Amino acid sequence: MDSQDIAQETPPENIFNAPSIHQDELVRGISYTHHTPTPDIIKDDLSRECVLGVDEAGRGPVLGINPLYQETVYQADNAPAGPMVYGVFYLPMEQHKSLLAEKHHFDDSKVLTPQVRSNLMQALCTSGTDLHESCGWATRVMSARDISSAMLKPAGTYNLNAQAMDATIDLIKEVLAQGVNITEIYVDTIGKAEIYQKKLERIFPTIMVTVCPKADSLYPCVSAASVCAKVTRDAALNVCYQSTRLLDAQATAPNSIADAWGSGYPSDARAISWLKENMDPLFGWGNECRFSWSTAKNMLEVKGNSIRVDWPDVNDDEHATRMTDFYVIKSSTNIEENESEDELAAWYGKPVSESIIGN
């Protein structure tokens, strides 16, 4: 990632706080979904054909988060911060190009300046504007904590590709459940788009589905979804960062997220410096960090002065303590055996005999 890309991925200082920012869930590291009300122009005529676009923001960062990337390939630009946000955007078919492209000049959110993205999002959320009256959108905010916990499961790993695919499918299904007549879907991806497209076509057989690279530059509805996802993620990152500043007893952390985390990508020296300076040797970092990313894992397991913890094997029954151990009186004839009884069981007091329980 070059310096221009880093600048585009760094949240601006005065980002618009859209209704998709749920502060409590963000601080607690909980994933959530936000839907706008169905616009009256669509709700009053549910037979009106609509187009829907899908895009994401923050798949790569390690601080703060496309469906067919392989993590082993994508690691070079994986950063450790904040949520990954998927966005869907829909509007009547006849307004697709005239309203979004010709009038408001929606483009890939990475091409638009942060201020232009913020202004477009504000217009979408302002009652009385043509964008607010004609367009609906939704976001799925996938927290860094939930992404990492799913990817680090000892068995049955829920990888990022599967998480992204499920988020996309759920958002589309939820829009359809509102009665919106979606007839065309456009999705941005990089990789084997045909595989992704075939899966969506099986799930939504009556809808024309197009999945292709650079869809956010080709289809205005995808561009708009990109803006919704990107502005939501920028504001979400700021919420996450400000919550970490409250824990800084010496108040030495910079006021601006741009000065502390930067873009959150490993090619951004600000992000790496913050990780190194704020790593707890036992717990690592908070809900803002993706522990499953190689950048964070290497700091904890290889480069950092972290404390190693060896967890017992949950499948090891030989040395496991059972609840029934607390209800059995050991024989007092063997003193040595009694003295070596389970220390954990003894901590909770003398076991109770079956006769006492029966009474």
The better pLDDT of the pair 6, 103 is held by: 103
Report whether pLDDT(337) > 90.
no
**pLDDT tens, position by position, 185-199:** 999 986 689 999 999
- 94 Rama sector, left if φ>0, alpha if ψ -120 to 50, beta otherwise: alpha
What's the confidence (pLDDT) of residue 75?
Answer: 37
Alpha carbons 299 and 4: distance in angstroms, whole number: 26
**pLDDT computed for residue 261 by the predictor:** 61
Q: What is the mean pLDDT of residues 163-180?
A: 96
* Region 43-68 average pLDDT: 76
Question: Which segments of the chain does DSSP mark as H helices, in order?
Answer: 3-9, 23-28, 40-43, 71-74, 114-124, 130-134, 144-151, 160-177, 193-203, 215-218, 220-245, 257-260, 269-277, 294-298, 335-339, 343-347, 354-358
The alpha-helical segments, DSSP class H, found in 299-353 are: 335-339, 343-347
Region 15-28 average pLDDT: 91
Nearest CA among 244, 187, 167, 180 for reference residue 37: 180
Percentage of the residues of the chain whose pLDDT score is greater than 90 = 42
Whether residue 73 is predicted with pLDDT greater than 70 in this model: the reply is: no
The whole-chain average pLDDT of the chain stands at 77
142 in Cβ contact with 86 (< 8 Å): yes
pLDDT in tens, 74-116: 333 344 467 889 999 999 999 999 999 999 999 876 788 888 9
pLDDT top residue among 225 and 70: 225
Provide DSSP, 217-240.
Answer: HH-HHHHHHHHHHHHHHHHHHHHH
Lowest mean pLDDT segment, chosen from 103-117, 121-135, 144-158: 144-158
Dist CA 89 CA 287 (whole Å): 28
**Nearest Cα residue to 164 out of 134, 183, 187, 130:** 187
pLDDT: is 143 or 179 the higher one? 179
HSE toward the beta carbon, residue 80, CA cutoff 13 A: 29
Reported pTM: 0.72
Is pLDDT above 60 for 240? yes
**Model pLDDT, residue 278:** 72
Residues 261-280 have pLDDT tens digits of 666 666 667 777 767 777 77
Residue 323 has pLDDT above 50, yes or no: yes
Range of lowest pLDDT (116-130, 284-298, 344-358): 344-358
